[in-house]
Structure 1
Amino acid sequence: MRNNAIYALALAVPVSACMAGRTGWRRMLILSLLSVALGFVASGVLYGVLDVVPGSVGEALSVPLQQLARVVRDDPDSLTAEQRKVLSAFLPVDQIGDLYTPRLADPVKGSFSAQGGQLAELLGVWVSLGASHPVTYLDAFLSLNVPYWYPLSSDNKASERVYVGVVVIGQDMADGASLGNDQYGFVRQSRIPWLLARYVDVAIFDAFRGNPLLSVMFGLAFPFWFMLGCLGASVAAAKRRAALPFVPALAVWLTFTVGPASLMRYLLPLVCCYPIFLGTALQPWGTRGCARRARPMPSMGTQASPGPKRRMGGCSSRSMGRQPAVVPRDVTEWYNNCALGTTEWHGKP
């Protein structure tokens, strides 16, 4: 089970609370912390019921292990005897260069063992090598997640644009009629083999490879750029408050960049958020980020109905830096002012 939402919330909660402003940060913080608490409770119950065994600490070290492997492969002579000794306690230093794959951390991560030494020593070597090889570290990091943000990145068998894990290793699926794996003890027989074959064709991206537009739209980088474009449009129209719906999604996306591979199935939560992104971008916002609300017209008489002073719906005209206008007697002029958001109700003088 993936737990990157924990790290995403750790980043999104303080950012969202700061962006909510003086009036909304408490509510935002309470709701976010409640979500975190419910997540911990749910995962704790599920882990117990399903007998989930905690993963190795190496699962969280995909990027550091890739960076170390890249340095060992490209510049092995730069390692001191002490650094090589520390690395040998965790990784097969003599083989790590051959195991390194730019788009996939699993081969290096699979050779990691935390039983041979102190993790703090390994992190110390990682920091020291990073100080002497900053460009190599940056290149290793970007090579691992480049399909997530570069639309024209070349396909790699270690990082395919697969929407659904329909092909299971261990069983030939030439006609799409069956799917299974002897290792897990199941075989699936389709009653509509041609339909299953079509699903597989779409799921493994073969149906889109010949169309440049669809290839980009269904590529790994499209969720990021679609989210970024909607964020830019929303912020341009409504200041910082319009960015709030995008903060958790961006935080989740950032956790993907430090994962072991770039796969479309990881991005499906962002794909499900497309309507939220688009709806936020198309929302008709006011001058200070308040959604426009319809305002009732006064009676057709010569003067507005008397009553206590009260502001109309939407953004306050004072907060927008404009002087409010008393409701004029001319209905046409009043309606124009109302459209500009400068009208307030006043009682009789």
Structure 2
Amino acid sequence: MAKEHNGVKMMLMERVNKSGVMEWRTLIPVLLGIMFGLGDGVANAEGRLPLNNVSLYVRMVLFAALFVVAFNACRLFLGRRREARAAALDLSVDSDENALIDYRWSCRSLTKLWAIILVCWLPYVVTLFPGVYWSDTSKQLLEHYGVEPFTDHHPFALTYLFGWLADLGQALFHNPILGLYILVVIQLLTAPALLGGIVLYTRRLGLSRLACHVQLALFALFPVFPVMFTSLAKDTLSVLFFIPFCLLFVEIVRSKGTICSKPWVVPTLLVMSLLTCVTKKPCVYIVVPALIMVCVMQLTKKARAFMAASALVVAVIMMVIMPKVVMPALGVQPGGKQETIPFAIQMVAHDVKYDPEGMSEADKKLVSDFLTIPYDQIAEAYDPVIADPVKGTSLKNPDLMGDFINLWLRKTIEHPAGHFEAWLGLVQGWFSFRNTDGSPSYMVVCTESAWYYDPITELVPQWPKTAVASGTARAIYDAEQSIPVLNVLFFRAWWASIVPFFLLYLAMRPGKGKFRRLVAMMPVNMSFAYLLLTPVSGMGGEPTRYLLQLICVLPLFLAAALAEQHGQEQGMTDRL
């Protein structure tokens, strides 16, 4: 009788524990809903939260309910009966053997997918010739030509590369733009192969042919891909190295490090890690933590040592050797320190605009001496959705950084709600379906090079303010964006927060291994954390650049999470 009582007690405790896990996991869509309510509330011209208006709290409740229902509906759909799951995640390659579109792991299959994606991209490639060049690219060319000081504000290695290619274009074609277009062509040839590789790899992880068809259609038909890879910026280049890094990262986690015994794996991982960071400096805060965290997982001793060594090498090269040795030797000046504290500057500017009485004369003098913008112009220049008008591109006196940080901390204690409001204004594009003007918060892409720094058109008269058929490219893009249901893919928030939060929701499912699953999605976790520190999310094309790496790799991590959830992964180490 006692044994029976103890058995019932243990069963009840197990059920309570499982119920508790589910309740905790439900907090993920609830938190997302609260952030969407706040993001929607701050999406107004003044960037102010209506804290005294009941509509703000109704928004939070509605969005929380929406995401709880949506996440649970997806969970139930993915957790349908075992027979249906087995059919959906059939790992057999027999069905691929005689199919027109072959997802077997082979060079032939990869070539087919590469060709399909590239052909689908051709309308944008043709209409956007000779490429789309961002303002940052023009600024780097101005540095190359000696008009602007040569700094590491943008990665100096890329500045050298852009300059060399511009000179090559001038020497060969009497047109610097055609030299830069060589790099665009390399992007257009490489990106479809990498995206096709993701499809083949996720098939091996357990994705069904139907799911692979959908994934291939996304890569081939979603217009953000061809438009962005016909553009030239640090983000479009960096992601070409970030994708292989993520593929290797997922396989190392999945194989528990056994793949590291292959002689090519660790050197390739290290090279991809370095190139990702060299071409886009913030990626060091994504790559290094991911490599460090994977060391705490259950890996082979050799793999753990390799991961720790790789993280150390990348950190030392990017944080010590590059700034302390290479840049001084080349005469490259460091980038402005203001880029490390855009939120602090925006929050203090918020105080200047909305609480000027709280700023003492000493505070005003400190702000004026620290920033390049005069204190009395900050209130007018303040824009709630972007830090650049106040932050600028340099500091008047960088030595006052410590004093300014102390001012920011003091004001944060005095006005935490105001500073939260200032931060939310900068990130609301990741947590909202509408812009401050009420329009949909879609991803904006550039189909012309009309945004540039002067005097680039004097130094490069061929600067393509408009492409061959920019209007046609824009019309095609707008038509695809207007398709009902599919237009959800064009929302910034879909890629920035909704899919990452759903991945977190999957990782926190009941059962053992939650920490391991969180570590397995570290590149996504850190990319999301990086978005929370960007100084603009709700205007122009900049947010689209920031999102590009997540758009490219989220299908990979989603497929890996689903395969691991259903316990039908198969080893690939012997196949690679």
* 2-structure distance, mates of 1:116, 1:38: 24
Q: How far apart in 2 are the matches of 1:50 and 1:206?
A: 45
CA contact (8 A) 2:350 2:422 kept: yes
Task: For 1:57 and 1:162, locate their aligned partners in 2 and report how far apart those are by CA, in whole Å.
Answer: 28
**Aligned residues of 1:102 and 1:143 also touching (Cα < 8 A):** yes
Of 29, 33, 38, which residue of structure 1 is paired with 2:312?
33
The separation in 2 between residues aligned to 1:249 and 1:153, in whole angstroms, is 25
Residue by residue over 1:32-86, the C-alpha shift from the partner in whole angstroms, topping out at 9 and shown as x without a partner, is 3344456569967996899754211112221111000001000100112221221
Distance 2:523 2:340 in 1: 20
Q: 1:230 aligns to what?
A: 503
Counterparts of 2:457 and 2:321, CA distance in 1: 32
CA–CA separation in structure 2 for the residues paired with 1:245 and 1:293: 17
Query: Aligned-pair distance for 1:128?
Result: 0.9
For 1:298, the equivalent position in structure 2 comes to none
Give 1:201 shift.
4.4
Give the structure 2 partner of residue 107 of structure 1: 389
1:135-154 per-residue CA deviation (whole Å, 9 max, x = no partner) reads 01001001101112323444
Q: Which residue of 2 aligns with 1:69?
A: 349
Kindly provide the amino acid, as one letter, of the partner of residue 129 in structure 1. Answer: K
SS of equivalent to 2:522: helix
Q: Does structure 2 conserve the Cα–Cα contact (< 8 Å) formed by 1:58 and 1:109?
A: yes
Give me the identity figure in percent. 24
Alignment TM-score, normalising by the size of structure 1: 0.66
Which of 483, 487, 495 does residue 215 from structure 1 map onto?
487
RMSD: 3.8
Which whole-Å CA distance do the structure 1 matches of 2:362 and 2:404 have between them? 11
User: 1:8 matched to which residue of 2?
Assistant: 286
Which residue, 84, 89, 93 being the options, matches 2:375? Answer: 93
227-236 or 80-89, which deviates more: 227-236
Tell me the equivalent position of 1:60. 340
Shift of 1:187: 2.5
Structure 1, residues 248-280: CA drift from partner, whole Å, max 9, x if none?
222122122222222111111111103312221
Distance (whole Å) between structure 2 residues aligned to residue 111 and residue 133 of structure 1: 27
Distance 1:57 1:191 in 2: 34
266-275 vs 4-13, which deviates more? 4-13
Q: 2:405 is matched with which residue?
A: 123
SS in 1 for 2:509: helix
How far residue 156 of structure 1 moved from its aligned partner, in angstroms, is 8.8
Unaligned runs of at least 5 residues, structure 1: 172-179, 295-349
Higher normalized contact order (CA 8 Å, seq sep 6+, divided by chain length): 2
* Amino acid aligned to 2:471: A
Distance change in 2, residues 1:87/1:165 (3 Å): farther
Instruction: Find the aligned partners of 2:548 and 2:345 in 1 and give their Cα distance.
Output: 26
User: What one-letter code is carried by the residue in structure 2 that aligns with 1:259?
Assistant: T
Rg bigger for which structure? 1
**Does 2:457 match 1:182?**
yes
Output the TM-score relative to the length of structure 2: 0.42
Change (3 A) 1:184 1:146: farther
Contact 2:442 2:491 (C-alpha < 8 Å) held by counterparts: no
8 Å CA contact 1:17–1:29 kept in 2: the answer is: yes
Q: Distance in 2 between matches of 1:233 and 1:266?
A: 24
- For 1:85 and 1:101, the matched residues in 2 are separated by 22
Deviations 1:89-115 (A, max 9, x none): 123111101111111111101176232
- Alpha-carbon distance in 1 for matches of 2:360, 2:317: 47
Cα drift, residue 230 of structure 1 = 2.9
Point out the more displaced range, 32-41 or 271-280: 32-41
Contact 2:292 2:311 in 1 (8 A): no
Q: Which amino acid aligns with 1:83?
A: D
Please point out which of 241, 246, 255 is paired with 2:521: 246
Q: Whole-Å Cα distance in 2 between the matches of residues 31 and 116 of structure 1?
A: 33
- Aligned-partner Cα distance in 2 for 1:114–1:101: 21
* 1:199 aligns to 2:473 (yes or no): yes
Q: Distance in 2 between matches of 1:41 and 1:86?
A: 31
- Of Structure 1 and Structure 2, the greater helix share is in 2
SS of 2:492's equivalent in the other structure is coil
Q: 2:536 aligns with which of 234, 237, 261?
A: 261
